[in-house]
């Protein structure tokens, strides 16, 4: 997957002394793009529109890239740093921050979620036919069968979006399935002109239109809402019927990411603004920062845009990032965003390395070319020389005299997995064994390699290297086993999936849940082959990809089905239904494990568990959250009213006695015990649940206490009637820090479950010694 970039944004806070805005000389100051947050209520009445105000008082019209008026009030513009600093002193300016680049978090999975035709969620919701999913990504390849509108009803009357025309994209490319498409390029173009290494769009490989040159957007859109497609496969792998989670939901594509160029904050924010105005019900965004570094919520345009959407009842699903298994690597952490990690499914693409000594090693591959047919070839490990670039099979690092006619062992890392195979091929090698290092452990993903290739886990990779170094004439072959279904155990948490704890507000557990994200088959662009390499000229209607990018649209599609079946549910209620009914056991009926270690996984790895749609349809109770609750949360983490207004648009005031952030009505409970605590320490939490099941119900709790922790709950039962739909309860967590025995992640885990005999409403509990960040 694409590497993440960290997000080191600097905020130029408001200074109350107002300096007149001078026309600054830019002779020695480079222009950069800045996003300017304006207090919209302070617009002088003399100006007919905000745009007139901005271009008269703040900057010249040609400098403005986007104006924002829905999820955010303000504009983005190309400015010198001096002009930006001066702007930040204007009393109507709440914040000025620099534009930054984000990265993409690069057919049986609907069944694996518990969905079956004609029963459960698919039939109850008419497959989500009146729900609109907005996908912020690399655009869409509209001709794919996954986006057919055959037998779909009229476009929902509330839809206000457009089909934006551009290169190789006309109004005819939209239909009753793909009901809208837009592209956002101004932030990218401004960066290309002023920010050094970012190159202008190469129009020989990219389209200035909603058309998808990369493939990622087509894949995520069809995962969420692709129609049933018979005879689907990727060069014979994963053959069968392909379908998205919500096959009748409508799609709107918002192209914010450009091939090999990432996605700019200013364009992402403009897409959020447009999607909310257009009338989407769900926003799916498989984009984010990384390296475990998250910008504060008031500096993160995804968090800001998502708040503007969620506060209007729009569900926002986002990927947790691919920087696992490192702790605190999850991204997109705001509590109004549903943060999705990745798990495996019960389908795999096994391949086998057979060594000259007869040893057989299991791995995976999606190679679909001519097989090696059991023929043994000489085996070589260029890393034996001690040269790092050769061990990684980097461009121009291999000596053709050394590798010609041989199978080459390459270490994973630093360059794309499929690109290593191309390097081997150019040097005359006949095949590749791709060996994981310690950081990737046993986590494997399939790739559509250009030469015969098998990916091996770290242990098997070490076995191959030991064989090469201890044998005078090492040899090997690779056998490809096609598609195997019914793999056990599954799901397993993907080793790359972003992990907790939450690096901004550890009082809120992230990720929220996991969904299928390994070796997912979905629609693909015709612009590039399945590897995405320029030299890969193969055309394929479908491709198999892995990443939290693939997990996120599963949750977006699930939200569409739940929204269709329960139109009155808020985004928080939908998230609660998914979290409290999630699976924590695999298909062997044992606790889910972590691919990276083989150990039992914790809520830091899988959140509340793995999405189970059938149960989410009827959760019994939900934890709801209002906009005021989110404002109280922001006050509780120490944000002042003007900083909060950057996120909320409207002015707010904080209560004198602030709400503790851990008392946000979230479907998980995280107890942070002070690091200085010695001996017995207690924390109390308040939660409220709303009955969405049978009106007259009595729920009683069961506790699975974390090791060394005492958990008490009051009252002992919750009684609901026609008139009384909402009830509160208090949880007290007591631990003697001397007896606390945390695992490697530094925490202990348990749960509270409320049940009325039919429903089980499970809430994870996490206890750790940590001070609030």
Q: Give yes or no: residues 134 and 253 share one domain.
A: yes
Q: Give yes or no: residues 190 and 142 share one domain.
A: yes
Q: Give yes or no: residues 654 and 705 share one domain.
A: no
Is 507 a domain residue? yes
Domain-ending residue, one of 72, 98, 124: 98
75-117 confidence digits (pLDDT tens): 999 999 999 999 999 999 999 999 999 988 873 345 555 554 4
Report the distance separating Cα 36 and Cα 98, nearest Å.
Answer: 9
Report the distance separating Cα 311 and Cα 146, nearest Å.
Answer: 31
> Which CATH number covers residue 456?
3.50.30.30
Residues whose CB is less than 8 angstroms from the CB of residue 95 and which lie 6 or more positions away in sequence, other chains included:
11, 12, 13, 14, 36, 37, 88, 298, 299, 643, 646
> Which CATH number covers residue 94?
3.30.70.80
Domain that holds residue 654: 626-664
Report the distance separating Cα 622 and Cα 574, nearest Å.
Answer: 8
Q: Give yes or no: residues 669 and 657 share one domain.
A: no
Is 710 a domain residue? yes
Instruction: Please report how the helices 548-565 and 216-225 are oriented relative to each other, as an axis angle in degrees rounded to 10.
Output: 30
Cross-strand partners of 545: 520
Phi then psi dihedrals of residue 28, to 5 deg: -110, 15
Is 173 a domain residue? yes
Strands 250-255 and 407-411: unpaired
Q: Give yes or no: residues 136 and 86 share one domain.
A: no
DSSP-based three-state secondary structure for 353 = strand
Say if CB 508 and CB 502 are below 8 A apart.
yes
Q: CA gyration radius for the chain?
A: 26
Which run of H or of E encompasses 121? helix 121-124
Report the distance separating Cα 136 and Cα 217, nearest Å.
Answer: 8
Report the distance separating Cα 99 and Cα 194, nearest Å.
Answer: 12
If one counts the domains in the chain, the total is: 5
Say if CB 343 and CB 497 are below 8 A apart.
yes
Is 6 a domain residue? no
pLDDT value for 2: 40
Q: Alpha helix (H) ranges present in 533-686?
A: 548-565, 571-580, 603-606, 613-616, 627-636, 641-648
CA dihedral 189, 195, 201, 207 (to 10 degrees): -40
Neighbours of 473 (CB within 10 A): 7
Is 607 a domain residue? yes
Say if CB 407 and CB 478 are below 8 A apart.
yes
Neighbours of 384 (CB within 10 A): 14
> Which CATH number covers residue 700?
2.60.40.2310
User: How distant, in Å, are the alpha carbons of 567, 696, 758 from that of 726?
Assistant: 19, 12, 18
Say if CB 158 and CB 277 are below 8 A apart.
no
In a 13 Å sphere around the CA of 443, the CA atoms on its Cβ side amount to 29
**Model pTM above 0.95:** no
pLDDT value for 414: 84
Q: Give yes or no: residues 608 and 513 share one domain.
A: yes
Q: Give yes or no: residues 320 and 184 share one domain.
A: yes
Report the distance separating Cα 143 and Cα 147, nearest Å.
Answer: 7
Residues annotated as catalytic (active site), given as ranges? 137, 216, 549
Is 13 a domain residue? no
Domain-ending residue, one of 577, 597, 616: 616
Report the distance separating Cα 361 and Cα 442, nearest Å.
Answer: 12
Q: Give yes or no: residues 340 and 354 share one domain.
A: no
> Which CATH number covers residue 294?
3.40.50.200
Q: Give yes or no: residues 507 and 580 share one domain.
A: yes
pLDDT value for 6: 34
- Torsion sign over Cα 170, 173, 175, 177: negative
Report the distance separating Cα 423 and Cα 420, nearest Å.
Answer: 5
My answer on whether omega of the bond before 100 falls inside 30° of 0, hence cis, is no
**Can you give the three-state secondary structure of 472-487, one letter per residue?**
CCCEEEEEECCCEECC
CA 763 to the chain's CA centroid: 22
Say if CB 363 and CB 538 are below 8 A apart.
no
Neighbours of 200 (CB within 10 A): 13
Q: Give yes or no: residues 450 and 430 share one domain.
A: yes
Angle at 53 between CA 52 and CA 58, to 5 degrees: 115
Domain-ending residue, one of 482, 512, 535: 482
Is 5 a domain residue? no
Say if CB 116 and CB 122 are below 8 A apart.
yes
Q: Give yes or no: residues 359 and 394 share one domain.
A: yes
Q: Determine the straight-line distance between the first and last CA of the chain, rounded to whole angstroms.
A: 29
- Torsion sign over Cα 707, 708, 713, 717: positive
DSSP-based three-state secondary structure for 589 = coil
Q: Which of 457, 458, 447 is nearest to 547 (CA)?
A: 447
Which residues of the chain fall below pLDDT 70? 1-28, 107-127, 194-199, 290-292
Task: Write out the DSSP string of 70-117.
Answer: SSS-EEEEEEEHHHHHHHTTSTTEEEEEE--EEEE----HHHHTT-BT
Report the distance separating Cα 768 and Cα 268, nearest Å.
Answer: 35
Q: Which of 609, 612, 619 is nearest to 573 (CA)?
A: 619
pLDDT value for 523: 96
Is 610 a domain residue? yes
Q: Give yes or no: residues 225 and 330 share one domain.
A: yes
């Amino acid at each position: 997957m694409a590497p993440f970039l960290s997000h080191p944004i600097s905020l130029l806070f408001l200074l109350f002394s107002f300096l007149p805005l001078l026309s600054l000389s830019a002779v020695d100051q480079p222009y950069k793009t800045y996003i300017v947050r304006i207090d919209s209520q302070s617009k002088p009445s003399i100006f007919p529109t905000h745009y007139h105000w901005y271009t008269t008082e703040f900057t010249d019209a040609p400098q403005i890239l986007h104006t924002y008026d829905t999820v955010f009030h303000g504009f983005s513009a190309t400015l010198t740093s001096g002009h930006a600093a001066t702007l930040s002193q204007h009393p109507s300016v709440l914040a000025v921050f620099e534009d930054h680049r984000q990265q993409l978090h690069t057919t049986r999975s609907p069944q694996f979620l518990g969905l079956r035709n004609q029963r459960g969620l698919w039939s109850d919701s008419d497959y989500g036919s009146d729900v609109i999913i907005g996908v912020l990504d690399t655009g869409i390849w509209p001709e794919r069968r996954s986006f057919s509108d055959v037998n779909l009803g009229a476009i929902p009357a509330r839809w206000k979006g457009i089909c934006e025309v551009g290169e190789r994209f006309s109004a005819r490319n939209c239909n009753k399935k793909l009901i809208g498409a837009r592209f956002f390029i101004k932030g990218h173009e401004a960066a290309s002109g002023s920010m050094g290494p970012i190159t202008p769009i190469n129009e020989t490989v990219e389209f200035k239109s909603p058309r998808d040159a990369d493939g990622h957007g087509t894949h995520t859109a069809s995962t969420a809402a692709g129609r049933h497609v018979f005879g689907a496969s990727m060069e014979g792998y994963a053959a069968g019927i392909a379908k998205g989670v919500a096959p009748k939901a409508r799609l709107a594509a918002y192209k914010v990411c450009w091939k090999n160029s990432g996605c700019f904050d200013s364009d992402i924010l403009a897409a959020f603004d447009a999607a909310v105005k257009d009338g989407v019900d769900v926003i799916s965004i498989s984009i984010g920062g990384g390296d475990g570094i998250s910008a504060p919520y008031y500096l993160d345009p995804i968090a800001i845009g998502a708040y503007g959407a969620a506060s209007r009842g729009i569900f926002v699903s986002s990927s947790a990032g691919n920087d696992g298994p490192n702790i605190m690597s999850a991204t997109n952490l705001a509590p109004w965003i549903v943060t999705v990690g990745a798990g495996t499914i019960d389908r795999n693409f096994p391949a086998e390395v057979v060594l000259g000594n007869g040893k057989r090693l299991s791995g995976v591959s999606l190679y679909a070319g001519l097989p090696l047919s059991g023929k043994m070839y000489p085996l070589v490990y260029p890393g034996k020389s001690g040269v790092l670039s050769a061990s990684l099979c980097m461009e121009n690092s291999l000596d053709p005299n050394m590798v010609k006619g041989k199978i080459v062992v390459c270490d994973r890392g630093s360059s794309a997995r499929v690109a290593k195979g191309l390097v081997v091929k150019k040097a005359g090698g006949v095949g590749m064994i791709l060996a994981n290092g310690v950081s990737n452990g046993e986590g494997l993903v399939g790739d559509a390699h250009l030469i015969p290739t098998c990916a091996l886990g770290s242990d098997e990779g070490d076995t191959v290297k030991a064989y090469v170094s201890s044998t005078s004439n090492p040899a090997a072959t690779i056998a490809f086993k096609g598609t195997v279904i019914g793999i056990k155990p599954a799901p397993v948490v993907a080793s790359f999936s972003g992990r907790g704890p939450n690096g901004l507000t550890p009082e809120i557990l992230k990720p929220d849940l996991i969904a299928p994200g390994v070796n997912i088959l979905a629609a693909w662009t015709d612009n590039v082959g399945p590897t995405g390499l320029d030299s890969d000229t193969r055309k394929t209607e479908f491709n198999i990809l892995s990443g939290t990018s693939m997990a996120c649209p599963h949750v977006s599609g699930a939200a569409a089905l739940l929204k269709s079946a329960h139109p009155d549910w808020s985004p928080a209620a939908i998230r609660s239904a998914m979290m409290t009914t999630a699976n924590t056991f695999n298909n062997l009926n044992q606790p889910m494990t972590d691919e990276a270690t083989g150990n039992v996984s914790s809520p830091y790895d899988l959140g509340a568990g793995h999405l189970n749609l059938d149960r989410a349809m009827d959760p019994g109770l939900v934890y709801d959250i209002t906009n005021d609750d989110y404002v109280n949360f922001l006050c509780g983490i120490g944000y002042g009213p003007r900083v909060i207004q950057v996120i909320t648009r409207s002015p707010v005031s904080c209560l004198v006695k602030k709400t503790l952030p851990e008392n946000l009505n979230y479907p998980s409970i995280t107890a942070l015990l002070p690091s200085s605590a010695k001996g017995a320490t207690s924390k109390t939490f308040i939660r409220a649940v709303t009955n969405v099941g049978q009106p007259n119900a009595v729920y009683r709790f069961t506790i699975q206490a974390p090791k060394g922790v005492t958990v008490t709950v009051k009252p002992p039962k919750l009684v609901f009637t026609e008139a009384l739909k909402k009830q509160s309860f208090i949880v007290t967590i007591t631990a003697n820090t001397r007896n606390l025995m945390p695992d490697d992640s530094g925490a202990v885990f348990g749960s509270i479950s409320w049940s009325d005999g039919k429903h089980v409403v499970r809430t994870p509990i996490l206890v750790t010694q940590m001070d609030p960040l």
